[in-house]
Amino acid sequence: MKFKYEKPQNGYPEWNNNPQIVSLNMNKPHSDFVSYETKEQAIEGIKENSSRYISLNGKWKFNFCKDIESIPEDFYEINYNNDSWDEIDVPSNWQIKGYGIPQYTNLIYPWTGREDIKPPFAPVKINEAGCYVKYIDITKEQLNKKVLINFQGVESCFYLYVNGEIVGFSKDSFSPSEFDITDYLVEGKNKIGVKVYRWCDASWLEDQDFWRLSGIFRDVYLEIKNKTHIVDFRVDSNLTDDYKDGTFSTKVKVVGIGNYNIKLELYDKENIIYSSKKEVTVDGKANLHFNTIIDNPRKWSAEQPNLYKVIISLENENNEVIEYVSCDTGFRRFEIKENVMHINGKRILFNGVNRHEFDSEMGRAINKEIMEKDIKIMKQFNVNALRTSHYPNNPYMYDLCDKYGLYVIDEVNLETHGTWKYGQKEEEGALPGSKSEWTDAVLARCKSMFERDKNHPSIIIWSLGNESFGGENFRKMYRFFKDNDKSRIVHYEGIFHHRMYEDVSEIESQMYTRPWEIEEYAKNNPKKPHIMCEYTHSMGNSNGNLDAYYKLFRQYDVLQGGFVWDFKDQAILKKEGDISYLAYGGDFGDFPNDYDFSGNGLVFADGEVTPKFYEIKYWYADVLFEDVKEGLVKIKNDYLFNNLNRYDIFITTTKNGEFVDEKCVNIDLEPGQTYGLEYDVVQKRYKGEEYIVTFTVKEKNETMYASKGHEIKHHQVVLKPNTLQIEREENTNKVNINEEDKLITLSTEKVKVSLSKESGLLEQYIVNGENILKEESRPYFWRSSTNNDRGFKNEIDAVSWRNPKMNLVNIKIENYINLVNLVVDIELDNNSTVTYVYSLDSNSKLKVQQILNPNRDLAKIPVISDMFILKEEFKNITYYGRGEIENYWDKYKSAKVGLYEDIVTEKMVNYLQPQENGAKTDVRYLEIKNEKGEGIKISGVPTFEFNISKYHPEDVEIADHFYKLKPLDATVLRIIYKQMGVGGDDSWRALPHPEYILNPNKIYTLTYEIKPI
């Protein structure tokens, strides 16, 4: 029967000022499956291999309409000639393909300042549309069956036409829209027309922090069904109260007419462990229920994602199978006991990430390869949980989460951040609030997500959306989930801002709360389990302070981890002539925009892992080390289900970074248990000998996501010298002093060191007759501002530390024959003082002390360092310290102390907006040499930090994109006492934690030694 279309009664189209119209003539939502002709296909479970699945992905005819007035009225008619239209790939976002421009905003609605509208009105003047056409061939055999068309994702709403007739309408961007088009088809050639609007009234519900893109961005396919077929099924695989046996329940819905058999089989790999057949008489529709107990099944968890295959077959009266359907299932139990969440009886800790669906070249139209790559990276970096921020993901993503093992918070497609403000007390204009005109829309989004995703064992929490304040509509959404699903719990962070609706979330969920604040929650009679649904904001060079959170997560049972914001940068590859770069808000002329606020991923938009992810990996690891005494460490297996014997533990000893010894041990250690691991110690360690014992936990065997030997966690023990050694250093050489008009020069047989008498700064350091310095050295107290620095306005507050003018007060020479000191006093124009003590001894060792006495009234000091501009040829470096990834005062655990080699090139850590990057801490020494092996060795007293680059920090500071940076024909070296931590609790107000801040309330001394090579 064909759909009889009637226009809305209010005189507006369905897409505008009609929020209560969710869809027209759309099939009811159901679980994500297709039917197969053979059991082998059903077991394999690859939709595309079913002959009943016909993909419509590929080239479609496309007409981009810059305004809705230019939409061709009858483009979908059979006689309308679309031959002159462009072609576009489906799935894709049309902005990515060059039609219109992408726009990035965080919370502000994209039409703000361009068209003055209020909900539920959609933009009209600035709205755009895309018209799609595709021709399909239908056989006579197919016409005798039921033909469905399924759109997995269309942004923001669309009308569907077949052979000139309207079939239906849908306006939920991230949920499937399925239509029965059987009665509209003819044998042979058929015309499919789709009209997509960029924005509709439902766009008020889709104010997520993402690029505003449009089009058919997920799969489109036909499914050929028998007249009588399985229309839906639900599988619930839970555990008994003692967590031993499995409760297995399957409900099947059939539509059609006649007498049939339904057979249900449960496979454990190749073995059928349960089989049952029931007769059913179908008169329009019928429901069947299978229920049994499975003895001691293998349990599903993120650590051990054991899956079983469910096969359901429909047999006709002749016992001939006319249809197979299938899904994976896993036996697991998720519950709250005594205000703590448990999985299979164990307290769960979420080592999670938020994730937008995004790729720099595909936008939101990502493919299976990208999804699987994302999942593998997560698992390699010890992530065990995913929040689908803030909409249901591509259905294939959940298949991967089931398979690889990730706990999922599945989130309704809802965010209305731009309709309310922080600190707001009453509902006011917040959407959906208690406004009845939006009730159907939000409940439909709940139902679509629930029905599609209900069979996935990886989903353990339903989320009502994101940052949408409160209201009665949330109670209705909560009630929907609780009435339909007893096996999962419901989450909503918005109650934090509107406590009147505390009852709509079973979890106390917060965003960007500081560690000491969540500890207060834990200490004060908490009524709910607590998670950070967003925390450690990963914008630019960030993710410091993570240790503070993880100490609390492991101390208080009620604090159950969090989800990093977020997994991947959202940036679009843009090409301008010969230049390609990752673009952010404003780069396309989009207005309004939120600049680079989309650059907060642990992974760059092109899929490359950032260095900061390694710090997350370190803290997310479930193997814990504690130093007991020299020669003994305590290891705790903090996994819930994995025995530690599945990993190898390598114990490697180095001396001053050089390999000494290594052995491998395997420990049989059950979850939750600890073990004292003894290790060999070099007993006599002389001055200048530093031994480090490194414990590395590695995969013993290849896994789905990592190769054999993949590192899970490391721990290092530094063994200091413990034995006195008599040292005799006889040297009758003396240090020469030569004072000229502009220079004071100290020299030995190997080196000449000259200070400027005008500035008091090091102007020459001559080795083998060559001055390695291109400019005079200088004290340097600035760093290229990070995103977090800008967030707490450090680039404004601390500006007095950016290139303060220097005034030389005095230079004093102290001559001790074999040692000469040059003591230099300098005043800064911010009323601070710097004293340098340059000490050159007869062994050609130059000891440098920079003593900073800051003005106590100034802002926090970004960094305390000396800057050297070296000649370009000095670019080969060897260092003994933390590496090889960048590391900072509050973000260093992931970097091992070791001996590393590198070459200074034009490369840098390519954060979306250039900023401070690449530093190394706990450095014992640094060698910088040219190709001839000549140069300098800088040693710490005892350690220092350094940063070396082809770029000056102030050039990096002002560049808005990496490609605009021009490398210097020099090497820029900063020898650093400390620089403030990078922070990351948030990126808009939070400073680094107090212990990682350089306050101007004391005197600081930077000390290091330079020797020629």
Per-residue pLDDT reduced to its tens digit, 532-555: 999 999 999 999 999 999 999 999
Task: Quote the CA–CA distance of 919 and 896 in Å, as a whole number.
Answer: 14
Q: Closest Cα to residue 1013, out of 913, 904, 908, 939?
A: 939
Q: What is the mean pLDDT of residues 291-320?
A: 97
Q: Closest Cα to residue 357, out of 411, 431, 302?
A: 411
pLDDT at 952 over 90: yes
Ordered alpha helix ranges (H), 337-471: 368-380, 395-404, 439-453
985 Rama sector, left if φ>0, alpha if ψ -120 to 50, beta otherwise: alpha
Q: What is the mean pLDDT of residues 799-813?
A: 97
Task: Quote the CA–CA distance of 363 and 197 in Å, as a whole number.
Answer: 18
Q: Closest Cα to residue 99, out of 130, 61, 58, 68?
A: 130
Q: What is the mean pLDDT of residues 510-520?
A: 98
Give residue 29's Cα distance to chain centre: 30
Question: What is the band of 731 on the pLDDT scale with cuts at 50, 70, 90?
Answer: low
Q: Which residues of 457-496 are buried (b: 16+ CB within 10 A; e: fewer)?
A: bbbbbbbbbbbbbbbbbbebbbebbeeebebbbbbbbbbb
Question: What is the band of 714 on the pLDDT scale with cuts at 50, 70, 90?
Answer: very high
CB 908 within 8 A of CB 951: yes
Q: Closest Cα to residue 386, out of 370, 405, 369, 367?
A: 405
pLDDT at 399 over 70: yes
**Which residues is 576 bridged to in the sheet?**
579
Q: Could you tell me the two tokens for 982? A: 């990078």
The pLDDT tens digits for 634-690 are: 999 999 999 999 999 999 999 999 999 999 999 999 999 999 999 999 888 888 899
Which amino acid, one-letter code, is at 634?
A: K
pLDDT at 725 over 80: no
Angle ∠(395,455,460) on CA atoms, nearest 5: 90
Which amino acid, one-letter code, is at 703?
A: T
Task: Quote the CA–CA distance of 754 and 774 in Å, as a whole number.
Answer: 13
Q: At what angle do helices 439-453 and 472-484 cross, to 10 degrees?
A: 30
Instruction: Sketch out the chain's domains with CATH numbers.
Output: 23-225 (2.60.120.260), 229-334 (2.60.40.10), 353-610 (3.20.20.80), 621-719 (2.60.40.10), 783-821+854-1012 (2.70.98.10)
End-to-end CA distance of the chain: 88
User: pLDDT averaged over the chain?
Assistant: 97
Question: What is the band of 389 on the pLDDT scale with cuts at 50, 70, 90?
Answer: very high
The pLDDT tens digits for 162-218 are: 999 999 999 999 999 999 999 999 999 999 999 999 999 999 999 999 999 999 999
Which of the residue ranges 237-246, 511-520, 719-728, 989-998 would you say has the lowest mean pLDDT? 719-728
pLDDT at 226 over 70: yes
Own/partner long-range contacts of 264-273 (Cβ < 8 Å, ≥24 apart): 264/290, 264/310, 264/311, 264/312, 265/310, 265/311, 265/312, 265/313, 266/294, 266/308, 266/309, 266/310, 266/311, 266/329, 267/43, 267/308, 267/309, 267/310, 267/311, 268/297, 268/298, 268/308, 273/297, 273/308
pLDDT for res 730: 61
pLDDT at 732 over 70: no
pLDDT at 729 over 80: no
CB 173 within 8 A of CB 250: no
The pLDDT tens digits for 78-92 are: 999 999 999 999 999
Q: If you write DSSP's letter for every residue of 642-706 in order, what string do you get?
A: --GGGEEEEEEEEETTEEEEEEEE-----TT-EEEEE----S--BTT--EEEEEEEEESS--SSS
Question: What is the band of 728 on the pLDDT scale with cuts at 50, 70, 90?
Answer: low
CB 527 within 8 A of CB 339: yes
CB 803 within 8 A of CB 876: no
pLDDT at 724 over 90: no
User: In which residue are the tokens 């340097």 written?
Assistant: 780
Q: Could you tell me the two tokens for 50? A: 């079913």
Residues in Cβ contact with 337 at an 8 Å cutoff, skipping those fewer than 6 apart: none
The pLDDT tens digits for 424-440 are: 999 999 999 999 999 99
Q: What is the mean pLDDT of residues 7-35?
A: 98
Q: If you write DSSP's letter for every residue of 296-343 in order, what string do you get?
A: SPPBB-SSSB--EEEEEEEE-TTS-EEEEEEEEE-B--EEEETTEEEE
Q: Could you tell me the two tokens for 826? A: 């300098």
- Give φ, ψ of 130 to 5 degrees: -130, 130
Query: In the chain, helix, strand, coil percent, each to 5?
Result: 15, 40, 45
Task: Quote the CA–CA distance of 603 and 584 in Å, as a whole number.
Answer: 15
Q: What string of H, E and C letters represents the secondary structure of 867-922? A: EEEEECCCCEEEEEEEECCCCECCECCCCEEEEEEEECCCCCCCCCCCCCCCCEEE
Q: Could you tell me the two tokens for 676? A: 């004292």
CA distances, 871 to each of 479, 769, 930, 949, 973 (Å): 69, 14, 9, 12, 11
CB 1010 within 8 A of CB 938: yes
Angle ∠(507,513,519) on CA atoms, nearest 5: 75
Q: Closest Cα to residue 19, out of 497, 499, 365, 419?
A: 419
CB 378 within 8 A of CB 387: no
pLDDT for res 722: 80
Q: Closest Cα to residue 518, out of 547, 556, 490?
A: 556
CB 27 within 8 A of CB 99: no
pLDDT at 840 over 70: yes
Task: Quote the CA–CA distance of 327 and 33 in Å, as a whole number.
Answer: 8
Task: Quote the CA–CA distance of 569 and 356 in Å, as a whole number.
Answer: 9
Task: Quote the CA–CA distance of 769 and 441 in Å, as a whole number.
Answer: 78
Which residues are known to be catalytic? 467, 534
- Give φ, ψ of 256 to 5 degrees: 135, -145
Q: Could you tell me the two tokens for 52? A: 């009943």
Residues in Cβ contact with 649 at an 8 Å cutoff, skipping those fewer than 6 apart: 635, 664, 665, 666, 667, 677, 695, 696, 697, 698
Question: What is the band of 1 on the pLDDT scale with cuts at 50, 70, 90?
Answer: confident
- Give φ, ψ of 37 to 5 degrees: -85, -25
Higher model confidence: residue 724 or residue 58?
58
Task: Quote the CA–CA distance of 526 and 558 in Å, as a whole number.
Answer: 8
CB 984 within 8 A of CB 544: yes
Residues in Cβ contact with 46 at an 8 Å cutoff, skipping those fewer than 6 apart: none
pLDDT for res 964: 96
Q: Which run of H or E residues covers position 953?
A: helix 953-958
**Which residues is 509 bridged to in the sheet?**
531
Higher model confidence: residue 729 or residue 123?
123
